[in-house]
Amino acid sequence: MKYTRELLKDVEGYVPGEQPKIPGIIKLNTNENPYPPSPKVMEALRALSPDALRKYPDPLSVNFRRAYAERFGYPGPEWVLAGNGMDELLALAIRTFVNPGDAVLASYPTYSLYEVLCQLHGCRIVYVDLDDNFQLPESFFSTPARMCLLTRPNAPSGVSAPREAVERLCREFDGIVVIDEAYVDFGGDNCMDFPKRFENAIVMRTFSKSFSLAGMRLGTAVAQPAIINEFMKTKDSYNLDACSQAAALAAIQDYDYMESNVAKVRATRARLRAELQQLGFDVPESQSNFLLARWNGAPPAKEIFETLRTQNILVRYFNLRGLQNALRITVGTNAECDALLEALNVILKRN
């Protein structure tokens, strides 16, 4: 296409997981929460006045940012940035802190959007491979770059780097450290206190997973006010619409509800992992709402994925280095996981 910028010539763009509208489909491919969002979120949306839609929303989302800061023990909204999904904030972080041509460090495998965002910005992603247990190798800490993007818990492995490793990174890495905590509510510990202690730490979270609000598009970044100020220069003026701001405030104020859904997902995750292991999959212990099921038998993982697809059961298959023998399976309801296990039993026994 002759009109496109030079930079985009070789960029394919990010391909998100499928969102087919097939009634009854079992959707275990995009790490959505199988349970509905808080009733208080729905109430807040219904209570929106026509005026709230007629007028521009608060460009700074102050009510929500204040409530969020309070929730996590931060002094005020100046420590928090709200965004139209965490994906927007990841793109903004690169746009705000990375020069075209600079290096951005990430572990491999990781959230594959990072690479696309770097391509779009004209900077270089530098991958350092995780070890066989999905842990950071020593060389990760000494690789120079302008920014480091660290998914914790990692996607698609579900495994978390030790908190001490992230702490060391913040201390030793000469650049911004973005800690992507998209899945952290499903795990054990977290790094939400790091921005208080490290001027280069940015902790990002999303409401798409634990809060069951993927359709709303809500993400947050917590960092020192000087960092948040820089983001204010690059974000869209009204990056959070009125509905999102109302939903975000209601969701953060109903934290217990989120935690009760997370507890259900965690219980199902333990059962699903044990059953997948029984079937012969190698499944690392996950701190997320998905499991990476590695499979070296027959039929190959890709074929299992395709057969499940014909039965209206969607999981995720990545045709990427190191992941070709694996399926990433979102933890659904107990009934959804039972249906998946039943289908897998048939597919695997047929061979």
Ligand X SMILES: Cc1ncc(COP(=O)(O)O)c(C=O)c1O
Nearest to 64 by CA among 211, 206, 245, 255: 245
SS3 at position 326: strand
One of 38, 61, 157, 206 touching ligand X (CB under 6 A): 206
Nearer Cβ to ligand X, position 57 or 85?
85
Stretch that binds ligand X, among 2-10, 81-89, 131-139, 223-231 (CB under 6 A): 81-89
Query: Which of these ranges, 85-93, 98-106, 223-231, 245-253, lies near ligand X under the rule CB under 6 A?
Result: 85-93
Residue 288 interacting with ligand X (CB under 6 A): no
CA gap 124, 126 in Å, rounded? 6
Q: Which is nearer to ligand X, 217 or 344 (CB)?
A: 217
Give SS3 for 27: strand
Considering the complex, state which of residue 108 and residue 299 has its C-beta at the smaller distance from ligand X.
108
Query: Which range of residues in 51-59, 82-90, 222-230, 246-254 is near ligand X by CB under 6 A?
Result: 82-90
Residue 86 or 136 having the CB closest to ligand X: 86
In sequence order, the β-bridge partners of residue 150 are: 179
| Structure letter (DSSP) for residue 3 | T
Considering the complex, what minimum distance in angstroms separates the CB of residue 2 from ligand X? 32
Taking phi over 0 as left and psi of -120 to 50 as alpha, with beta for the rest, 101 belongs to left
Q: Which of 119, 151, 160, 210 lies at the binding interface for ligand X (CB under 6 A)?
A: 151
Q: State the nearest-atom distance from the C-beta of 44 to ligand X, in Å.
A: 19
Q: Does 111 bind ligand X (CB under 6 A)?
A: yes
CA pair distance 240, 291, nearest whole angstrom = 31
Given 41, 81, 86, 166, the residue binding ligand X (CB under 6 A): 86
Q: Does 114 bind ligand X (CB under 6 A)?
A: no
Q: How far is the CB of 214 from ligand X (least distance, A)?
A: 6
- The number of residues in the chain equals 351
Q: Of 91, 182, 249, 276, which one interacts with ligand X (CB under 6 A)?
A: 182
* Minimum gap (Å) between residue 196 Cβ and ligand X: 22
Give least dist CB 68 to ligand X, A: 14
Q: Does 85 contact ligand X by CB under 6 A?
A: yes
Minimum distance of ligand X from residue 219's CB (angstroms): 4
For residue 113 the two structure tokens come to: 């959007």
**Which residues have CB under 8 Å from 306's CB, separation 6+?**
none
How far apart (Å, rounded) are the C-alpha atoms in residues 221 and 349? Answer: 46
Among 78, 102, 115, 180, binds ligand X (CB under 6 A): 180
- Cross-strand bridge partners of residue 197: none
- Helix H or strand E segment including 92: helix 86-97
Residues 154-173: x/- map of binding to ligand X (CB under 6 A)?
-x------------------
Return the HEC string of 233-292: HHCCCCCCCHHHHHHHHHHHCCHHHHHHHHHHHHHHHHHHHHHHHHCCCECCCCCCCEEE
Please give the structure tokens belonging to residue 223: 């960092």
Question: Sign (positive/negative) of CA torsion 94, 95, 96, 98?
Answer: positive
How many chain residues interact with ligand X (CB under 6 A)?
A: 13
Of 140, 146, 94, nearest in space to 115 by CA = 94
Q: Does 33 bind ligand X (CB under 6 A)?
A: no
260 φ, ψ to 5°?
A: -70, -35
Binding mask 3-32 for ligand X (x = CB under 6 A): ----------------------------x-
Cβ closest to ligand X, residue 154 vs residue 268: 154
Contact residues toward ligand X (CB under 6 A) are 31, 85-87, 111, 151, 155, 180, 182, 206, 208, 214, 219
